[in-house]
């Protein structure tokens, strides 16, 4: 095997070590990773074993809440023209049901599962950015609860979870209800992206040595693809919410056809996110199925690499199917045909996975314990949903089925079979990893059968209701069309489902005991590293992975791990550490010092949530104060991240020493920054698409850009900014005299130049009379430049930050990461601004 990093893989042969472990090593490890002792520490905690449990718990809370909303709706629809829920309440409830299930339950639930399971599965002590993970969790919880509570004040959004303008524009939704959706959801997406960054860097950089990509557990593959899809897809909904909020608050016409906007722009942006979203939810759940079914059948997953390829294919194809939600909007025939074909193609990888599961069941001997039942039940339901999915990919049929109850049936079969059942399988399977007692098998079986029956009784008749002509999103229906009976049956099924969930809550209350001294452990005889004995520090020592099923194939592994015979058996210097390895072959690269609990990320989350929520109720001064406090807390949190180490290297076992610190492209921080910039770039790219799209609708509204010389001047300023930002890290490493001061100076100059370039460009457009609230050109040019200005503003904050660090002597040539990352950000900001500038100046050209 050739080495990826220059690490001599023959050193692996020194493990497991034989010599006795030094005294006090385990005690030091436990002390470094000790759990909360005082009540407040349960809030400041950042360990994934704690945050992960909170995170799953919060997601399930929203599942139950949104489920209650579903029962209210089913009660209203049990009979025709009932008055149980008034029309406006029903409209809010169905909007909240969809929104909460998609944004506050499904995505966070699978993300939470990743936070809880991945470090254990990968043999890491924690995720690489534990405070970021905790920040994302608190932001999500606070934001989500406040968002949900809008329902109790009649302020909940009522435009549907898809929020189509113009219905959600200021004219037809003048209240702040729609703003709650736009600001609340936009904000929660940011927390989802933060989680995705953690997961990508975690899977690629913190795997146990020897866990090459072909030994990466299938669930980790799924989470990796999931997180990459979030990075690509979520910027679209963030942009869409931004644009609609700009239209609502400031009258910038992106969607208003009277001023050149187009409601279809929203649909493209929303579904470019919205369809991948379905696979974003499905893939991790499928990954869980591909983990649980082999464990329950006690055999390897048949076609492991086919399954991984299928998941990758799903990820790619899912970005090419968004317009199948728009077959009835009068799209050109050629687009319809393409999207129909792509929508059918995306079902092929799903078929591969389904048959891999069946083949695995056949190859082994399935145990019908609760996780096994949920897995098999989920498979059947998902297949049925997939088949109706193929049906609606057939365009002529979709013209009939679209927006009818047939679709309601289809999507619930897909999401409940593809996500909810696997999630319950996962809860019953993995809970013994985090709880002193497993859940009850007897109740689990009751819950499964009730849920399976309830699901089918509720949703199977809806196919028929749809074919009978019942549209979706109706708060009632007239008697005499034959819709009464199927609706009544659906309501009975919904309550059976609700009963199953209630029983599950009872089971959880009776048996779920987290954070105890000892967990129930590997009662299912699972093969993954997550079943190694563990504490808050995760595994005692990080094993060398030689198999996809290490606990089945590496005999005696658990004992060796517990005896500290493998990598990183202690906590050198009493610090929290995890091993960073290379992305392909997982060769040890350096030891990452992890942060400790702190209140600052919690305050940061509170004030960030406060900023968005207060903005919604239009108390602008208070919102600004909250925003400033959030920035302060986040800077405070970052301030001590880059403090010097007492030692340069750490012995990770068997005399192998790796550095404690690296900078540049092999460092975890560099990866995270690159991913953040990809998110920013996606938003910008989609904003550029919106600009071209709006131009294509109304080219007659486009006015000529400012004269060319100003463009060259502004590009020159931005080039200066980029060069200065690129030079700073190099100067810091190479300059002979005062490298810290020069590098800091260059970054400050760069930040100022980005701001100047963007500011001058804004002024140039303003002075030729382009106004953002008059035409779609104005709106989209100012939106693009505004996005660049937001980056310039963050760049300015970073300039201030580095200046402060320099003043306090916290910039050092030995520890260049801070300068590297700020330099990287500013280089990008300058490049993005230049690209935006070229687009709006050169396209469609001065002659228009």
Partner 1 sequence: MLSGWPPPVLDPAGPFAGPVTVVAWVLFVMGAVVLAVVLVALGVALFGPRKWKRRVGGERLVWMGGLAFPVVVLTALLIYGLSVTARVSDAPRDGEMRVRVTGEMWWWRVAYLDDQGRETVQDANEVHIPVGRPVVIELESADVIHSLWVPRLGGKTDMIPGRRNFMRIQADAPGVYAGQCAEYCGGPHALMGFVVVAHAEADFAAWQAKQAAPAAPSALPGAGVFSASGCGACHTIRGTEANGLAGPDLTHVGSRQTLGAGILPNNQGTMAGWIADSQGIKPGNRMPSYPVLTGRELRDLAGYLDSLK
Partner 2 sequence: MRFIGAAFTALGLLGLGACADKADAPRALAGTDPAEGLRLIQSRGCAACHKIPGVAWPEGRTGGSLAGVGARPMIAGRLPNQPEVMAAFVRDAPSLLADTGMPLMPLTEAEARDVAAYLYTLDDD
Where does this chain bind partner 2 (CB under 8 A)?
79-83, 476, 478-480
Residue 359 token pair: 């083949």
Residue 593 DSSP label: E
3 or 329: CB nearest partner 1: 329
214 or 707: CB nearest partner 1: 214
Residue carrying the six token digits 């001997």: 365
- Residue 79 touches which of partner 2, partner 1, none (Cβ within 5-8 Å per kind): partner 2
- Report the nearest approach of partner 1 to the CB of residue 362 (Å): 3
- Report the nearest approach of partner 2 to the CB of residue 484 (Å): 9
Helix, strand and coil content of the chain, in percent to the nearest 5, comes to 70, 5, 30
81 or 258: CB nearest partner 2: 81
- Report the nearest approach of partner 1 to the CB of residue 178 (Å): 11
Residue 313 token pair: 């294919």
The Cα–Cα gap between 189 and 183 comes to 10
The Cα–Cα gap between 472 and 404 comes to 5
CB under 8 Å to 145, separation ≥6 — which residues? none
Count of residues that interact with partner 1, criterion CB under 8 A: 88
369 or 476: CB nearest partner 2: 476
- Look at residues 383, 377, 403, 262 and name the one whose alpha carbon lies nearest to residue 777: 262
Site for partner 1 in 169-198 (CB under 8 A): 171-173
SS3 591: strand
**The one among 206, 353, 578, 650 contacting partner 1 by CB under 8 A:** 353
Q: For 622-637, what is the HEC assignment?
A: HHHHHHHHHHHHHHHH
475 binds partner 1 (CB under 8 A): yes
Which positions from 388 to 407 touch partner 1 by CB under 8 A, shown as an x/- string? x-xx-xxxxxxxxxxxx---
- Report the nearest approach of partner 1 to the CB of residue 734 (Å): 55
- Look at residues 433, 435, 492 and name the one whose alpha carbon lies nearest to residue 459: 492
Could you give the C-alpha distances from 117 to 418, 512, 530, in angstroms and in order? 19, 17, 7
The Cα–Cα gap between 389 and 98 comes to 19
376 or 811: CB nearest partner 1: 376
**The one among 91, 212, 440, 667 contacting partner 1 by CB under 8 A:** 91
- Residue 712 touches which of partner 1, partner 2, none (Cβ within 5-8 Å per kind): none
- Interface region with partner 1, contact rule CB under 8 A, candidates 18-26, 273-281, 346-354, 558-566: 346-354
CB under 8 Å to 462, separation ≥6 — which residues? 405, 406, 408, 409, 412, 486, 490
99 binds partner 1 (CB under 8 A): no
- Look at residues 333, 122, 111 and name the one whose alpha carbon lies nearest to residue 209: 122
Residue 541 DSSP label: S
81 or 334: CB nearest partner 2: 81
Could you give the C-alpha distances from 502 to 61, 443, 473, 508, in angstroms and in order? 12, 11, 26, 10
According to DSSP, the residues that pair with 588 across neighbouring strands are: 581
SS3 814: coil
- Report the nearest approach of partner 2 to the CB of residue 488 (Å): 13
- Report the nearest approach of partner 2 to the CB of residue 327 (Å): 33
- Report the nearest approach of partner 1 to the CB of residue 727 (Å): 49
SS3 659: strand
- Interface region with partner 1, contact rule CB under 8 A, candidates 102-110, 330-338, 428-436, 642-650: 330-338
Q: Is the dihedral of CA 456, 460, 465, 469 positive or negative?
A: positive
The Cα–Cα gap between 790 and 239 comes to 13
- Residue 258 touches which of partner 1, partner 2, none (Cβ within 5-8 Å per kind): partner 1
83 or 809: CB nearest partner 2: 83
154 binds partner 1 (CB under 8 A): no
263 binds partner 1 (CB under 8 A): yes
264 binds partner 1 (CB under 8 A): yes
Query: Other CB atoms closer than 10 Å to residue 681's CB: what's the count?
Result: 15
- Residue 403 touches which of partner 1, partner 2, none (Cβ within 5-8 Å per kind): partner 1
167 or 625: CB nearest partner 1: 167
In this structure, the chain runs to a length of: 848
**The one among 42, 319, 355, 512 contacting partner 1 by CB under 8 A:** 355
Residue carrying the six token digits 């314990």: 369
308 binds partner 1 (CB under 8 A): no
| Cβ atoms of residues 261 and 247 within 8 Å | yes
**The one among 166, 418, 706, 772 contacting partner 1 by CB under 8 A:** 166
Which strand (E) or helix (H) includes residue 95? helix 87-99
Residue 13 DSSP label: G
479 or 716: CB nearest partner 2: 479
Site for partner 1 in 446-465 (CB under 8 A): 464
- Interface region with partner 1, contact rule CB under 8 A, candidates 56-64, 336-344, 491-499, 685-693: 336-344
| Cβ atoms of residues 117 and 530 within 8 Å | yes
351 or 716: CB nearest partner 1: 351
- Interface region with partner 1, contact rule CB under 8 A, candidates 225-233, 332-340, 732-740, 810-818: 332-340
- Interface region with partner 1, contact rule CB under 8 A, candidates 387-395, 425-433, 607-615, 682-690: 387-395
**The one among 218, 238, 352, 451 contacting partner 1 by CB under 8 A:** 352
Which positions from 721 to 760 touch partner 1 by CB under 8 A, shown as an x/- string? ----------------------------------------
3 or 171: CB nearest partner 1: 171
Could you give the C-alpha distances from 681 to 127, 180, 677, 792, in angstroms and in order? 25, 26, 6, 14
The Cα–Cα gap between 188 and 144 comes to 7
359 binds partner 1 (CB under 8 A): yes
**The one among 72, 146, 474, 638 contacting partner 1 by CB under 8 A:** 474
Which strand (E) or helix (H) includes residue 449? helix 441-467
Which strand (E) or helix (H) includes residue 579? strand 577-581
Residue 725 token pair: 């930002």
- Residue 64 touches which of partner 2, partner 1, none (Cβ within 5-8 Å per kind): none
- Residue 80 touches which of partner 1, partner 2, none (Cβ within 5-8 Å per kind): partner 2
- Report the nearest approach of partner 1 to the CB of residue 643 (Å): 52
361 binds partner 1 (CB under 8 A): yes
- Report the nearest approach of partner 2 to the CB of residue 83 (Å): 8
- Report the nearest approach of partner 2 to the CB of residue 465 (Å): 17
The Cα–Cα gap between 242 and 265 comes to 13
**The one among 85, 116, 199, 302 contacting partner 1 by CB under 8 A:** 302
Query: Other CB atoms closer than 10 Å to residue 334's CB: what's the count?
Result: 8
Site for partner 1 in 480-499 (CB under 8 A): 480-483
DSSP states of 222-245 = HHHHHHHHHHHHHHHHHHHHHHHH
26 or 409: CB nearest partner 1: 409
Residue carrying the six token digits 């030994």: 215
């Amino acid at each position: 095997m050739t080495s990826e990093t220059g690490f001599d893989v023959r050193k692996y042969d020194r493990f497991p070590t034989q010599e006795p472990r030094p005294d006090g090593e385990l005690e030091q490890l436990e002390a470094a990773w000790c759990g909360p002792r005082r009540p407040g520490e349960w809030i400041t905690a950042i360990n994934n074993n704690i945050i992960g449990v909170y995170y799953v718990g919060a997601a399930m809370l929203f599942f139950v809440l949104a489920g209650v909303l579903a029962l209210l709706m089913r009660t209203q629809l049990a009979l025709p023209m009932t008055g149980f829920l008034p029309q406006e309440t029903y409209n809010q409830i169905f909007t909240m049901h969809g929104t909460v299930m998609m944004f506050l339950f499904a995505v966070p639930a699978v993300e939470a599962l990743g936070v809880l399971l991945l470090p254990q599965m990968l043999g890491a002590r924690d995720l690489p950015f534990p405070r970021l993970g905790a920040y994302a969790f608190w932001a999500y919880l606070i934001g989500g609860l406040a968002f949900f509570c809008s329902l109790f004040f009649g302020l909940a959004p009522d435009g549907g979870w898809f929020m189509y303008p113009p219905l959600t524009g200021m004219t037809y939704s003048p209240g702040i209800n729609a703003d709650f959706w736009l600001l609340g959801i936009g904000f929660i997406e940011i927390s989802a992206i933060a989680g995705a960054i953690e997961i990508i860097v975690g899977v690629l950089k913190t795997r146990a040595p020897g866990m090459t990509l072909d030994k990466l557990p299938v669930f980790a593959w799924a989470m990796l693809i999931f997180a990459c899809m979030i990075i690509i897809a979520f910027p679209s909904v963030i942009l869409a919410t931004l644009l609609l909020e700009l239209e609502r608050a400031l009258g910038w016409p992106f969607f208003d056809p009277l001023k050149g906007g187009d409601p279809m722009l929203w649909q493209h942006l929303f579904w470019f996110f919205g369809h991948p979203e379905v696979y974003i939810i499905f893939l991790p759940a499928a990954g869980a199925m591909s983990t649980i079914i082999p464990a329950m059948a006690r055999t390897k997953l048949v076609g492991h690499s086919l399954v991984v390829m299928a998941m990758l294919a799903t990820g790619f194809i899912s970005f090419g199917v968004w317009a199948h939600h728009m077959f009835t909007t009068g799209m050109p025939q050629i687009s319809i045909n393409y999207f129909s074909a792509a929508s059918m193609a995306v079902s092929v990888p799903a078929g591969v996975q389904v048959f891999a599961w069946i083949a695995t069941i056949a190859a082994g001997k399935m145990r019908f314990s609760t996780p096994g039942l949920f897995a098999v039940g989920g498979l059947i339901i998902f297949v049925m949903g997939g088949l109706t999915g193929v049906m609606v990919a057939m365009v002529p049929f979709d013209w009939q089925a679209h927006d009818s109850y047939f679709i309601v049936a289809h999507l619930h079969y897909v999401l409940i079979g593809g996500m909810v059942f696997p999630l319950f399988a996962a809860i019953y399977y993995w809970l013994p990893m985090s709880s002193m007692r497993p859940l009850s098998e007897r109740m689990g079986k009751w819950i499964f059968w009730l849920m399976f029956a309830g699901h089918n009784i509720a949703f199977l008749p809806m196919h028929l209701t749809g074919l009978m002509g019942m549209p979706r999103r109706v708060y009632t229906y007239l008697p005499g069309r034959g819709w009464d009976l199927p609706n009544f049956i659906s309501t009975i099924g919904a309550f059976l489902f609700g009963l199953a969930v209630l029983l599950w809550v009872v089971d959880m209350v009776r048996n779920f005991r987290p954070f105890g001294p000892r967990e129930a452990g590997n009662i299912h005889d699972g093969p993954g590293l997550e079943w190694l004995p563990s504490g808050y520090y995760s595994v005692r020592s990080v094993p060398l992975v030689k198999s996809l099923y290490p606990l089945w194939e590496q005999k005696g592994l658990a004992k060796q791990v517990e005896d500290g015979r493998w990598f990183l058996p202690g906590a050198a210097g009493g610090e929290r550490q995890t091993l960073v390895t290379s992305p392909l072959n997982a060769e040890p690269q350096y030891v990452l010092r992890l942060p400790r609990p702190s209140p600052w990320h919690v305050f940061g989350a509170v004030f960030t949530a406060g900023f968005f929520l207060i903005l919604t109720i239009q108390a602008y001064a208070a919102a600004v104060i909250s925003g400033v406090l959030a920035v302060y807390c986040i800077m405070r949190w970052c301030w001590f991240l880059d403090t010097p180490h007492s030692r340069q290297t750490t012995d990770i076992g068997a005399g192998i020493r790796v550095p404690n610190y690296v900078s540049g492209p092999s460092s975890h921080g560099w990866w995270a920054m690159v991913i953040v910039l990809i998110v920013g770039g996606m938003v910008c790219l989609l904003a550029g698409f919106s600009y071209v799209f709006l131009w294509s609708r109304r080219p007659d509204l486009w006015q000529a850009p400012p004269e060319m010389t100003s463009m060259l001047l502004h590009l020159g300023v931005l080039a200066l900014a980029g060069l200065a930002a690129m030079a700073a890290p190099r100067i810091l490493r190479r300059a002979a005299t005062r490298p810290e001061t020069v590098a800091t100076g260059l970054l400050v100059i760069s930040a100022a130049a980005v701001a100047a370039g963007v500011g001058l460009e804004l002024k140039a457009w303003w002075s030729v009379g382009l106004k953002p609230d008059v035409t779609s050109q104005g709106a989209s040019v100012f939106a693009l430049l505004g996005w660049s200005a937001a980056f310039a503003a963050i760049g300015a904050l970073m300039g201030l930050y580095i200046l402060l660090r320099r003043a306090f002597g916290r910039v050092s040539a030995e520890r260049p990461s801070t300068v590297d990352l700020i330099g990287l950000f500013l280089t990008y900001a300058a490049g993005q601004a230049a690209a935006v500038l070229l687009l709006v100046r050169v396209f469609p050209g001065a002659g228009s």
